Amino acid sequence: MPCRRRSQASTETPREDLFYQTYYSLSQQYPLILLLLVIVLGICVALLATSSASGREFSSNLGFLITLFTALAVFGLILVLVCIESIFQQCTRVFSAVIWICLITMGYVFVFTGGVVMAWDQVSFFLFIIFTVYTMLPIRMQDAVGAGLASSLSHITVLGVYLSIGCTSQAELALQLLANLVIFICGNLVGAYHKHLMEVALQETFHETFNLIQSRVKLESEKRHQEHLLLSILPAYIALEMKAEIIERLRDSGQAQQRHESTNNFHNLYVKRHKNVSILYADIVGFTLLASECSPKELVLMLNELFGKFDQIAKDNECMRIKILGDCYYCVSGLPVSLPKHARNCVKMGLDMCQAIKKLRDATGVDINMRVGVHSGNVLCGVIGLQKWQYDVWSDDVTLANHMEAGGVPGRVHITEATLSHLDGVYAVEEICCWHRDPYLRENKIRTFLVIDPRAEEESTNDTLSPVSGEGYKMRASVRMTRYLESWGAAKPFANLKHLDNPPESAGSVRNNHSELSLGSLNQQKTLERGRVPRSPDEDLEGVDEKFFQLIEQLNSQKQWKKSEDLNRITLYFKEQSLEKEYRLSALPSFNYYTACTFLVFVSNFLIQILVADKTVALGVSYGISFFLFILLLLTCFAGHLAKCFLKGPKALDWVPSISAAVCTQPWLRVSLGVVTILIVLTMAVLNLFFMPDPWCSSQLQNSTMVGTNATQDFVPMKSLFSVPYYIYCCILGFLSCSLFLHMNFELKLTMLTLCLVVYNVLFLHTHSWLSDCYVARLYPNQTALRPGVLKEPKMMGAISFFVFFFTLLALGRQNEYYCRLDFLWKKKFKKEREEIETMENLNRVLLENVLPAHVAQLFIGQNLRNEDLYHQSCECACVLFASIPDFKEFYSESNVNREGLECLRLLNEIIADFDELLLKPKFSGVEKIKTIGSTYMAATGLNVAAGQDSQQDVERSYSHLGIMVEFAMALAAKLDIINKHSFNSFKLRVGINHGPVVAGVIGAQKPQYDIWGNTVNVASRMESTGVLGKIQVTEETAKALETVGYTCSLRGIIKVKGKGQLRTYFVCTDTARSGPQGPLLS
C-alpha cells in the first residue's frame, strides 16, 4: 500500500516521532497484547477442558496440568497489570520479555511431558510463538527478529540433540528437522512481512491522523482570522450574508455566481434601512496645513493615533465608526441594534472628541481643533459594489449631518433640532444661526444649536498636560504631534493577523523539551495572554498536541470499536454507502506483493511435503499444475514490472503492463485472484493426504484390540505416518496465507478461515482420523500403561492448533480491517478539510485584498509579516481619479414608491458594481479602487511603482499609467451609458484627474482602511467638483504629462479652486483615439 515509509523518520521532528511512538503503543501494541493474553488464557482453558473431557488421568499428566494452571495464574496477573495503562507504558519491554519466556517455557514443557518426544512435537505451538512475537508483542522489528530466530533455533537444536541420542534412523530425523526449519523460516518471514505491513499501514494512518488534526487546528485558526477580518470591515449581520456568497463563489469557481447572474439581472444588494439613529460628522480643523509638513511615516502615525483614539471614544459611547474621509471622521449610534440614547451617545462622543483635541492642542501647541455636527433621523446602511467594501450610510439625514459639520464651529458640537428633541434636556444648548456658513442649511431653513460642554467650567490643571517647554517649540509641529500621540498607544491595523505557516523565529525554542508534552502543557501566562490576543502559532501547535493525545485516547483498544460516527462497530462498514463503495473500489498497488508472499508459503508447503511425505505421482502432478497456476498469477501481478525490464520488447506486447494495473485497480479481479491464490495454498496443503497408503490400517485397528497389538508395526511404513503432523502444519501455514492479504475484507477472510477450519477438522477428526490413530498405535503399543497427552496425539493437536490460529488470525484480521478503513477515512477527511482550509485561506485573501491593494495585502499575509510598524509608502508619481454622478443626488428620493430610497441605492449599486467589474480586465490591472463617497468613485494608479527613476525614458514610461487612468475614465463613462439605456436615465459622469506625489497607508485597528493623502488628492477632488458633466478635467501639469503619452487636451481656462486659488485647467479630448507621442497640442 502506498505510504510514507519509516525510512523517512530522519526527516520527522522529534516531537512528531514521539507522537508516533505514543500512537503506535496505545493504538496498535496495547490492544494486540491484550488479545494475545486473552488467546493464551483461552488456550490454557481449552487444553484443561480437553484433557478433562478425554478422560485422561491427572497423575499421568501431572507436569502438563501444573504448567497449565501456573500459566493461567501468570498470564492472568500479566493481563491485570497490562490493563493499567500507566504500568504498561513504563514496562512494555518487560511484559514482552516475560510473555515470550513464559510461552517458550510452556512449549518445552509440552514437548517433554505427556508422552514420547518426537521431532514434530509442538512445532505448531512454536510457530504460534514466532508469529505472535512479530504480530502481537509490543517490540521493535529487530527484537522480534531476534526472538523469532531464537525460538526457531532453540526448538531445532534442543530436539535435534535430544533425539539424536539413541535414534535408529538419523536420515528420518534429519528430514523432519529440515521440515521444521522450513516451517520456522516461513513463519518468521510471514510474521516479519505482516509486522512490516502493519507498521507501514499504521504509520500511514498516523500521518493522516496527525495531518488531519493539524488541518483542523489550522482550519479553526483560519476561521478565527477570517471572522475577525470580516468583522473588522463589516458589521456581523451583513458579514454573514457576504461571507456565504464569497464561499459559494470560491468553491464553485465562479460557476454559481454565473448561474445566479443568469437568473437575476441585478447584483446582490446588502443594504438595510434603520430608523431612529444619530449621525456624527467630525473634521479636524487645521490638519491639512499640518499634514503638508509631515513625512509619510509621521502622517500615517498621526492619523492612526487620532482615529484610533476616536474609535475608542466611539466604542465607549456605543457608536459605530462608518468611514474615514481624509481627516474627516463619521459614525452612527443606533446601528445595528436600535438604542434609545443614540442622540446622547453621539453628542457625548462629539464632546469627548473635542476634549481630546483640546488636550492635544494644549500639550503640543499645535493649532488644530475639532468641528462636529450631529443630526438624528433615518439611514440606509450597508455595502455597495464588488470591490473594496466599506460599510456606509446614505439618506437625506446623512447629507444634513455632513452639512452640520461643515457649518459648525471649531471646538463645539453642532446639532439639529431633531437631535435636540432626543436629548431630553440632558445637555444645555444655545441656538445659533449658521446659514451663512453653509448654503444647504440656509436653503432648508434648518434650526441648529451648539451644545454646552458641562466639563468646560470644571476643568482643572490635573486634566491637562503642562505646555511644552521652549525647546519643544523649536521642533516641528508634526514632530511634537507624533511624539505626543505615540503615548496614546493606538493598536496597529491587522496587528492580530498571524499565519500558522510563518511562526516567529523563537517558536522553535519553545518545543524542544518533548518529555514535557502532555494534555496540560499550557502554562498560566499563555492562558492569560490567550484571553487578550489571538492565538499564536505556538498555541495552535499546543492545540494539535491536546487534540492528538485525545484522539490516541479514543483509539485505545477498550474504546476504538465501541463508538464511531463513521463506522459500524460490528461490521466495520462505513455508515455512508458511497464511502463504503469508494473504499471497496479503491486501488491496491501492493496486491502483487501479497501474492508473492503467498507464493512463499506455497513453496514452503511443497518443500515440507517433499521432505516428509511419500514421493508419489499424485504429489508431482498436483504440484506441477499448482506451480503453473501460481506462475500465471505472478506474471499477471508483476506484468508491469517485467515490462520495465524489457523496454525494447515487441510492440505487440505493449498491452502487458495494463494487466497488472487492472489487477491493482479492479476490485472484482483483485478479489478473485486473491481467493484463487489462497485456495491453491489451502488445497495443496492437504490434497496429497488423500493419496496416502490404502486405508487397511483403519480396518485392522477395528479388528484388533488397543491393548498390546503390534499389527500395524509389520505393515505400515513409519514415514507415511509421521508425515501426518506435517500435513497439519501445512494447513496452519495455509491459514497464515490468509493474513498476508492485508486489505482483504474481513468477512471474506472470516468465510475462508471458517471453511478451512471446518474442512480440516472433518478431515483429521473424522474421515482421516485413522491415520492419527495408526500413528498413535505405533508410538504407544500399550496405551493402558501410557496414554499420550492431548498435544501428543496428532489429530487432537491439529484440532486445537486450528482453533488457536483461527481465532488469532480473526483478531488480527479485524485489527487490520479497522486500521485500513481508518487510514482510508482519515485520507478522505484530510482531503476534505484541506479543501476547506484552501477555501478559508482564499476567503481571507479575498477579504484582505478587498480592504487593501494586492501589493499591500502581501505585506500582511506574506513571509515577513511582523505588524510592528504601520504601513506607509510615498508614491512620487501617482495618478488620482474622482468620478462622480452629480445627477444622482437629484435622482435620489425617499418616497414610498422607491421604498424610502432603497431602490435608488439598488441602481447605484449596479453602477458601482459595473465600474468594479472593469477592474478585473487585464488592461486596468494597475488601477486601484480607493473608495466610494456617495455617488463618487475614487481610484488611483502608480501606487506600486518604485520611485527614483533617473533617465528621461524612465520618466516618460512612468507617465504611461496616466494614459491607463484616462482610458479607465472613458470606460466608466461607456459603462454608465449602457446603464442609462437599460434604466431609462440620463446620468453623466464628471471626472477629475490629477497626478503627483501622494502618501499611502493603512490606518485604523478596529476597521482598517487603506487610503491616500496629499495635495495631489485634494486637487484631483477639486478637479471633479469644479468640472463639467461628460468631461475629464485635469491640471496643466497633468495635461502636459498626458501629451507625452499621446493624448490631446483642450484648454478650459482659469478657474477658481477652493483652497488653491486660480488654476489653469484642461479637458481631455475623448472623441479622438490615442495616437501615440505627438508634438505640443495644448492650446
Catalytic residue set = 1022, 1058
8 Å CB contact between 301 and 870 = yes
Among residues 196, 2, 205, 24, the alpha carbon closest in space to that of 824 is found at: 205
Helices (H), 687-793: 696-703, 718-740, 746-762, 769-779
Distance (Å, rounded) from C-alpha 245 to C-alpha 262? 16
Cβ neighbours of residue 510 closer than 8 Å, sequence gap 6 or more: 538
Distance (Å, rounded) from C-alpha 1061 to C-alpha 1039? 19
Distance (Å, rounded) from C-alpha 983 to C-alpha 977? 10
Distance (Å, rounded) from C-alpha 330 to C-alpha 323? 6
What letter represents residue 257's amino acid?
Q
Q: Does the bond joining 788 to the residue before it have cis omega, within 30 degrees of 0?
A: no
Among residues 251, 234, 232, the alpha carbon closest in space to that of 242 is found at: 234
Tally of CB atoms within 10 A around 728: 27
The H-or-E segment that residue 560 falls in is none
Among residues 933, 577, 797, the alpha carbon closest in space to that of 118 is found at: 797
Distance (Å, rounded) from C-alpha 908 to C-alpha 901? 11
Among residues 39, 48, 54, the alpha carbon closest in space to that of 67 is found at: 48
CA distances from 755 to 715, 734, 759, 812, 1062 (A): 35, 12, 6, 18, 105
Where do we find the cell 521440515? 179
Cell (9 digits) for 98: 516475560
Residue 13 burial (C-beta neighbours within 10 Å; 0-12, 13-18, 19+):
exposed
Cell (9 digits) for 927: 488601477
User: How many CA atoms does the CB half-sphere of 938 hold within 13 Å?
Assistant: 23
CA distances from 238 to 9, 257, 291, 364, 931 (A): 49, 19, 35, 41, 19
Tally of CB atoms within 10 A around 1063: 17
**Alpha-carbon dihedral 493, 497, 498, 500, rounded to 10 degrees:** -160
Distance (Å, rounded) from C-alpha 448 to C-alpha 441? 9
8 Å CB contact between 395 and 892 = no
Angle between helices 617-637 and 667-686 (to 10 degrees): 160
8 Å CB contact between 687 and 668 = no
Residue 759 burial (C-beta neighbours within 10 Å; 0-12, 13-18, 19+):
middle
Helices (H), 864-901: 887-891
Cell (9 digits) for 944: 506600486
Cβ neighbours of residue 472 closer than 8 Å, sequence gap 6 or more: 364, 365, 480
Where do we find the cell 494475545? 36
Q: Three-state DSSP class for 467?
A: coil
Strand 413-416 versus strand 369-383 pairing type:
parallel
Strands (E), 747-869: none
Cell (9 digits) for 912: 458601482
Q: Kindly state the greatest CA–CA separation across the chain.
A: 140
Among residues 975, 789, 944, the alpha carbon closest in space to that of 879 is found at: 944
8 Å CB contact between 256 and 308 = no
